[in-house]
Structure 1
Amino acid sequence: MDPDYDVFDAIVAGGSLSAAARAMHLSPAMVSKRLARLEERLGVRLFHRTTRKLALTDAGERFHGDVAAILQAVRDAESRLIGTRSEPAGTVRLSAPTSFGRLHVAPKLHAFLVHYPRVRLELDLSDDMVDLYGGRYDLAIRIATTIPPNLVAHRLGGSRRLLCASPRYLERHGPPATIETLAQHRLLAAAGQMPWRLVKGRRRFTVEGESHVRTNSSEVIRELAIIGVGIALRSLWDVEQALASGALMPVLPGWEGPDDLAVHAVYPRGPSTPPAITALVAFLQETLADASWDAVRPRP
């Protein structure tokens, strides 16, 4: 199989030459050279190039569909081969949300790698919903209400969401008196996280509005809330330490996000699951089993 297929697939997945270079541990110049070599050999242009981005040509889009299927078939063959061995081995490409990955996945990986020395991990942190069928990832952490039926899902924990703000913000602006006045405050949310749908018992309320600071990073929203910029709706797994220390305080206690959100480890359905993926999922379930994401820890 032409090794430039991997480069082509990585460019499509990353959306740019630089992103593909980072993913493949190559220089951008080398990625550009290999793409040019592939296009020259095929005799077609695969991408429209502008100063800001790359976009697949019609020919490139058709070709990528075939290449992605070939790459997936090769990975499936490798998985079946590795699956015949008793010891988990091979590469697992794991994607996780940025904040969750830093707080709850990365600190635990050393123990997993010590226990399974033949497994090689590639960890990508991103708040984007990655495509598990595009061939770039084997396993992903999804924080969602529902999981598509073409994915196998293993629950890792709940994701209770509370309104919170720093004491500094509450001293300066005062807490909202009622849920109806919440929208009059400075609200903080990452792109795509508003409007807020909140519940209190049988009551339901939707908070419309825009984030006081626009960002695509949930981590940035947490830090902005801690320094006193505004009120945020955050999951306990993200802010439990800040709540326990008093860096953040609950706002409008009783009003929360619906309890249908949970943390899952997901991977594509297939004829067999590589032992390395099975082992990593089991490890995450075991190490996160005692997480208290459904209850606020009392402040010491």
Structure 2
Amino acid sequence: MNNDHLRLFVRVAALHNISKAGSELNLSPPVASMHINKLEESLGVKLIHRTTRKVSLTEEGREFLPHAEEVLNAVDSAKASVGAGSFTPQGTIRVTAPSSFGRMHIVPALKEFVTAHPELKVDLRQSDSIVDMVEGGFDIAIRNAALNDSTLVARKLAADRRIICASPDYIEKYGEPSTPADLLNHECINLIGIDHWDFQTPNGIEKIKVKGAIRIDNGESIRDACIDGAGLTITSIWCAYKALAKGELVQVLKDYPLTTDTAIWAVYPSSRLLAPKVRAFIDYFIEYYGEVPYWEK
């Protein structure tokens, strides 16, 4: 079995396209197709269904994929143990990130990142949905939710402190809550997926199920609705820091911090060797955000 054929197969499985996978490995479409044929012949099974629009894995192909990845990881690990091979970050790194955080805090850093690593290309997909990393062919997922998947490894990139905010106009019109319980008398804009706002109080954790006419699934949109005076809301500092600095938003209930133990994480499959491009991306953004993130200063 040829390792180059395995590497091509793994990329075809991720991209569902032989030509694109071949292009990544500097192979022409005919050569890439020939390599897949040779791999199938060596195994005696059909790994890929080919159609005019895309390719998909056969049942045998899906069974074979994790073993192919394991072989490639073992080869790379063996080379690394003796200092062989090229470990310069190179190729294409595929990243998925939440829409708002990606736009505000990843995209502005990409120019400097690719300048520092000229042999790297970045494929960034922004979505507020939790994607399947393996099925999507992603090297890294940026997440700001708790990790509950034992097949993934997480590295903390930065803190994600959340606060309660309101616009000055809203406070002038409706007043400012002095305790978490006061929120029940206020219009609140809720982030879809968060049912309770949990506060630290002298009497322990207090859970408040807020009410309001508006629920939104995007952090920037919630922030903007809050700036517009639609109600109080929960927001991450990284999302609201500019509005806070301009006085468009005001933090309320400072004496009752939220109990959310959130952070910005870079996660990657535990079954994969930490490739140089993944390490380079993680190390760069840990330094870029800083021990105290710039949005907290």
The answer to whether the superposition gives a TM-score over 0.5 is yes
Alignment match, 1:182: 183
TM-score under structure 2 normalisation? 0.72
Equivalent position amino acid for 1:125 in 2? Q
Equivalent position amino acid for 1:213 in 2? I
1:65 deviates by 6.8
User: What does residue range 8-87 of structure 1 map to in structure 2 within 5 Å?
Assistant: 34=53, 84-87=85-88
Distance (whole Å) between structure 2 residues aligned to residue 174 and residue 262 of structure 1: 31
Alignment match, 1:254: 255
Distance (whole Å) between structure 2 residues aligned to residue 2 and residue 151 of structure 1: 19
User: What does residue range 92-131 of structure 1 map to in structure 2 within 5 Å?
Assistant: 92-131=93-132
Alignment match, 1:217: 218
Contact 2:180–2:199 under 8 Å retained in 1: no
Alignment match, 1:159: 160
Contact 1:236–1:293 under 8 Å retained in 2: no
Please say if 1:139 is aligned against 2:158.
Answer: no
Tell me the SS of whatever aligns to 1:124: strand
TM-score under structure 1 normalisation? 0.72
Matched pairs, number:
249
RMSD: 3.1
Contact 2:195–2:209 under 8 Å retained in 1: yes
Identity of aligned residues (%): 29
Query: Alpha carbons of 1:180 and 1:139: their partners in 2 closer, same or farther (altered >3 Å)?
Result: same
Query: Alpha carbons of 1:8 and 1:252: their partners in 2 closer, same or farther (altered >3 Å)?
Result: same
Query: Alpha carbons of 1:64 and 1:175: their partners in 2 closer, same or farther (altered >3 Å)?
Result: farther
1:6 deviates by 5.8
Distance (whole Å) between structure 1 residues aligned to residue 15 and residue 145 of structure 2: 31
Contact 1:71–1:135 under 8 Å retained in 2: no
Distance (whole Å) between structure 2 residues aligned to residue 3 and residue 113 of structure 1: 22
Tell me the SS of whatever aligns to 2:143: strand
Distance (whole Å) between structure 2 residues aligned to residue 214 and residue 67 of structure 1: 43
Contact 1:97–1:128 under 8 Å retained in 2: yes
Distance (whole Å) between structure 2 residues aligned to residue 252 and residue 175 of structure 1: 8
1:120 deviates by 1.4
Distance (whole Å) between structure 2 residues aligned to residue 151 and residue 188 of structure 1: 32
Query: Alpha carbons of 1:65 and 1:158: their partners in 2 closer, same or farther (altered >3 Å)?
Result: farther
Query: Alpha carbons of 1:4 and 1:93: their partners in 2 closer, same or farther (altered >3 Å)?
Result: closer
Which runs of no fewer than 5 residues in structure 1 stay unpaired? 10-31, 40-62
Worse overlay, 251-260 or 273-282: 251-260
Larger radius of gyration, structure 1 or 2? 2
Query: Alpha carbons of 1:96 and 1:202: their partners in 2 closer, same or farther (altered >3 Å)?
Result: farther
Worse overlay, 148-157 or 194-203: 194-203
